[in-house]
């Protein structure tokens, strides 16, 4: 039987996500109380990066150490993949050395192919299409900080990018009312919206796509934004900035959300672009809890995929 992988947000069911959240809470508690449990003694993760990273690299690497295993940082610039060795051979070779692969790539098909041709679990550490580890962490953080996920109004404002897609899909699985406000020219992928709507039908949640940031933020429980130019799209920044200006999360826009609403951002952030400093550095911002929880949620994902 083929190994389980996390390539798309819907690779896990709601029940499996809840199980992962419970494990995340447990392993976080163990680390906080100074307890070292070597669940993955002797196990190694290979981490392929085609793009830059602070959080993903450090949280997966530290996470493997905290579980008693080890991790190898494999920049695509250094391994033969960057010189044209194909993904099929890379997947097959790495599967002979490591027990699990995490990969951050441009094309989404590359992580799919790593899982297809390799025979170890593969985790999507961000592609141009999706960022499931971040979305799982953000819903975990919302839940950990006391908000009930079913029926929650979870709003994303800005570029219709990988973060918007994963938040829509994971939120739909978990029964949230997900709102995405983006300009028409930067709207979310229609196939992802359709998939998220199907998932919401099952969970009792909903998926709402609009061009109106005010409607999306009104009475929201969470307001989320992300950079205006994702990695690899830097050349488009100037053109995008003009159109995205009305989608900036500032005091006025955030003020439409519930009083106790969380402000969230996957980071890295650009203050005075997608969010103003008073909001991201304000009392409702939970950005560093999100960043910290990447560590614990990803440990839970790895344990789940490795059958531990
Ligand atoms: N949020 C996130 O994935 O950050 P990095 O790009 O630093 O990994
Ligand atoms: N949308 C951003 C997320 C970074 C974590 C990017 O792809 O660059």
Q: How far is the CA of 45 from the centre of ligand 2 (A)?
A: 22
Tell me if residue 245 is catalytic. no
Helix (H) / strand (E) element for 22: namely: helix 14-32
Tens digits of residue pLDDT in 161-191: 999 999 999 999 999 999 999 999 999 999 9
Q: Is 190 inside any structural domain? A: yes
Q: Is 1 inside any structural domain? A: no
Tens digits of residue pLDDT in 256-278: 999 999 999 999 999 999 999 99
- Quick one: average pLDDT of 12-21? 98
pLDDT of residue 2: 74
What residue numbers bound the domain in which 35 lies?
9-130+293-305
Which of 8, 55, 99, 104 is an active site residue? 104
Q: Are residues 150 and 280 in the same domain?
A: yes
Which of 134, 138, 165, 265 is an active site residue? 134
Q: Are residues 20 and 126 in the same domain?
A: yes
pTM above 0.75, yes or no: yes
Domain count, the chain: 2
Q: Are residues 15 and 100 in the same domain?
A: yes
Q: Ligand 2 — pocket residues by CB below 6 A?
A: 126, 161-163, 226-227, 230-231, 266
Q: Are residues 106 and 150 in the same domain?
A: no
- Match 């692969």 to its residue by tokens: 101
pLDDT of residue 155: 99
Assign 136 a pLDDT band (cuts: 50, 70, 90).
Answer: very high
Average model confidence (pLDDT) across the chain: 98
Is 80 exceeded by the pLDDT of residue 198? yes
Distance CA 195, CA 132 (A): 15
Q: Name all contacts of 213-218 with Cβ < 8 Å and 24+ positions apart.
A: 213/157, 213/181, 213/246, 213/247, 213/253, 214/253, 214/256, 215/179, 215/181, 216/155, 216/156, 216/157, 216/179, 216/180, 216/181, 217/155, 217/157, 217/181, 217/253, 217/254, 217/256, 217/257, 218/256, 218/257
Tens digits of residue pLDDT in 273-302: 999 999 999 999 999 999 999 999 999 999
Distance CA 246, CA 240 (A): 11
DSSP designation for 184: G
**3-state DSSP helix/strand/coil % of the chain, to nearest 5:** 50, 15, 35
Assign 1 a pLDDT band (cuts: 50, 70, 90).
Answer: low
Tell me if residue 226 is catalytic. yes
């Amino acid at each position: 039987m083929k190994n389980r992988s996390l390539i798309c947000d819907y690779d896990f069911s709601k029940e499996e996500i809840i199980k992962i959240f419970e494990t995340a809470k447990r392993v976080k508690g163990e680390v906080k109380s100074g307890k070292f449990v070597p669940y993955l003694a002797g196990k190694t993760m290979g981490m392929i990066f085609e793009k830059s990273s602070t959080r993903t690299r450090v949280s997966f690497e530290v996470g493997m150490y905290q579980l008693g295993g080890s991790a190898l940082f494999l920049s695509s610039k250094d391994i033969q993949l960057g010189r044209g060795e194909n993904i099929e051979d890379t997947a097959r070779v790495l599967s002979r050395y490591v027990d699990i692969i995490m990969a951050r790539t441009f094309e989404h098909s590359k992580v799919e192919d790593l899982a297809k041709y390799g025979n170890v679990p593969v985790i999507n550490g961000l592609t141009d299409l999706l960022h499931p580890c971040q979305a799982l962490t953000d819903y975990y953080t919302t839940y950990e900080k006391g908000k009930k996920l079913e029926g929650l109004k979870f709003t994303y404002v800005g570029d219709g990018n990988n973060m918007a897609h994963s938040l829509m899909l994971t939120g739909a699985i978990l029964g949230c009312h997900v709102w995405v406000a983006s300009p028409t020219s930067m709207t979310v992928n229609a196939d992802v919206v359709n998939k998220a709507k199907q998932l919401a039908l099952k969970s009792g949640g909903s998926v709402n796509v609009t061009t109106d940031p005010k409607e999306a933020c009104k009475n929201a429980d969470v307001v989320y934004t992300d950079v205006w130019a994702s990695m690899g799209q830097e050349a488009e920044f100037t053109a995008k900035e003009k159109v995205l200006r009305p989608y900036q999360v500032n005091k006025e826009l955030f003020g439409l959300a519930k009083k106790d609403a969380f402000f969230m951002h996957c980071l890295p952030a650009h203050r005075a672009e997608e969010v103003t400093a008073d909001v991201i550095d304000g009392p409702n911002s939970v950005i560093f809890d999100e960043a910290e929880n990447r560590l614990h949620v990803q440990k839970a994902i790895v344990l789940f995929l490795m059958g531990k």
